[in-house]
Structure 1
Amino acid sequence: MTMDHDRAYANGAFIAGADSYPPRWEAAARAFRAALGPCARLALPYGPQDRQRFDLFLPETQPRGLLVFVHGGYWMAFGRESWSHLAAGALARGWACAMPSYTLAPAATIPAMTQEIAHALATASAQMPGLPLVVTGHSAGGHLAARMGCTDLSLAIQPARVVPISPLADLTPLLHSRMNDTLGLTPQDARAESPALHALRPGTSAHIWVGGQERPAFLWQARALSEAWGCPWTVAPGRHHFDVIDGLADPASPLCAACFDGI
């Protein structure tokens, strides 16, 4: 049987009320920023391009470290503005949280996005030198977060931990999907940009997170990365691709524990 890669990586078609999630995310993020007042530093540049900006959210006390969250959208959609509320868990634990946007396809290639996130990490970390850095991200952002843990990538600052959530860890199946008409992945780039085909950076720990109700392809991707890196992976019961990230807003959640415990 030939695999239908478009169906395998379709998420919204298999989530009830999928269309209601983006406006809810945007409303929650907007309210969170407004309530945070001066502890929200918005649209800080990490490069010269329009989308090379990050928002930095600060706790009320001296930060214990920095969490960077990289948004998803199959490298083709969304921006940092939709996810601000997910910083709540980090702030309650005394951590700062940075959320970068990055140039989307087709204006940028995935290798270029990887480099943009590397620059965002360096710029955001310079705001609080000497503090530990944890990188997480969801879906395509999970891929980019995982890339920050790969040995082949030269970084100005090394993450203490990476926690990819529902990551795309092996990009080679996407070569056979219609989305590649926009992504423009070559076979060489697909292999080079696949975290599951690289070793985990020495000195960086990792924990892979995925929802139990996600598409089988995402469960496979998460397990493949966990096996390649020899690190733990958690299948969150009852969570699908759109609500698997909700735990980031709750400081007591198992997902927050996976990000911060032991750091």
Structure 2
Amino acid sequence: AVFLKDSEGKLWVGESGHENEKGEDIIAVIPWDEWWDLELNKDDSNPHIAVLPLHPDVRAKFNETAAWEYALSMAGKPYGYHNMLFSWIDTIDGNYPPPLDAHLVASAMTVWSKMQPEYAANLWNEALNKRLGTKGLDLSDILVEIEKRGSSFDQLLTVPEQDDWIYSDGKSTSCIAFVLEMYKEAGLFDPIADSIQVTEFTIKDAYTLRFFENNSSRLPKWCNDADNVKLPYCQILGKYRMELPGFNSMDPYPHMNERCPSKPPKYSRPPNC
């Protein structure tokens, strides 16, 4: 989620994954008081929330007008299910925890496509068609098309998502992609924004960006009041202390996070992947 103030100083929260009255997960921009009440009193998922203030130099670059325009243009659109699965698959064999591999992924998708064809279309069919440059193919047709081209399913899964892809229900952004796309629109990835695809970022990829406050003396006085450990960010909710390995440690670079392995248990990440 992103906190934004309007021209009158009122605080709002923009997030992808807000549940509406119909039980649908959508992108929403709602007043802080309403959002905070939901998290405190109505969210039964045991939420843990930390505030990561931007560094003053980064805030100075932040184009609030562009950020608001982007947030309002996305409000009401569905959560980004189309590309949710693809941000962590960057390599043919360097991302799957054993014994999982692309063959098992294809098998699971095939079974799921037979059981829940509408969900399958939403979760991966459109995204796979985008990667092939085709339209309307179901999973079996996609597999045939891959074979015709002399390629493979595992190679197709590694094709980077493109932020400008338009799906049947509009642009698709998951929770973290929505935040980073707003940062992108606000100018934080300039001058390399054209070579950054934020839909390829995971949550960890986001908080390791060197965008955030690095001087604890500038954090609000209420920050971490309830904790005897002073974190470099402000945890405002949660039973357990939130640890963010690699927080605020990496400058953006072209094609960031498009070719990164992530195998457990070490999840080693080579430079500039």
TM range (shorter): under 0.3
TM-score in terms of structure 2 length:
0.24
TM-score in terms of structure 1 length:
0.25
Higher relative contact order (CA 8 A, sep 6+): 2
